[in-house]
Amino acid sequence: MLIDTVELDWRDVSPAWLGEARRVAAASGDLPRLSDVDVDVLALAIGLDATLVTDDFRLRNAFSSNGGHVEAAGVKKTTNVWAWAMHCTGCGVQSDVPEDVPRSKKDDVGSCDRCGSPLTLKRKRKR
């Protein structure tokens, strides 16, 4: 995973950039499935206004949904941008992804405020 023209130094990711990265990733709905490193990379790309070179589709989606420029590292370019929503497996209610969502590649992303059932992430159509 590379960012153009940047000497990577993870200690230099500012809290403000991380906050912005979380805001951007929450807005696109990708945040719950991003690792700490993913969020760091996103924060650097946003903070430095860099071109994000990655094949990680969630990173690409989050960054390009914010107007960022992404380039594929290997696979062919995708141009689709989508958004994710929290979807209740019980009552079916959909909600936006909050910035303080628990993040994990595997576990569920919380439970429903209304009925307590597990929430999952579902792709939703862009406005």
The residues of the shown chain that bind Zn ion, judged by CB under 5 A, are 88, 90-91, 112, 114-115, 117
Task: Tell me how far apart the alpha carbons of residues 23 and 53 are, in angstroms, rounded to a whole number.
Answer: 20
The distance of closest approach from Cβ of residue 77 to Zn ion in the complex, given in angstroms and rounded to an integer, is 38
The distance of closest approach from Cβ of residue 96 to Zn ion in the complex, given in angstroms and rounded to an integer, is 15
**Residue 16, burial from CB neighbour count under 10 angstroms (0-12, 13-18, 19+):** exposed
Q: Which is nearer to Zn ion, 51 or 120 (CB)?
A: 120
Q: Which is nearer to Zn ion, 19 or 116 (CB)?
A: 116
The distance of closest approach from Cβ of residue 115 to Zn ion in the complex, given in angstroms and rounded to an integer, is 4
Task: Tell me how far apart the alpha carbons of residues 99 and 76 are, in angstroms, rounded to a whole number.
Answer: 30
Q: Which is nearer to Zn ion, 36 or 113 (CB)?
A: 113
- Strand 52-53 and strand 70-71: pairing? parallel
Task: Tell me how far apart the alpha carbons of residues 65 and 32 are, in angstroms, rounded to a whole number.
Answer: 16
Q: Which is nearer to Zn ion, 17 or 84 (CB)?
A: 84
The distance of closest approach from Cβ of residue 83 to Zn ion in the complex, given in angstroms and rounded to an integer, is 20
Task: Tell me how far apart the alpha carbons of residues 99 and 17 are, in angstroms, rounded to a whole number.
Answer: 14
* Residue closest to Zn ion (Cβ): 112
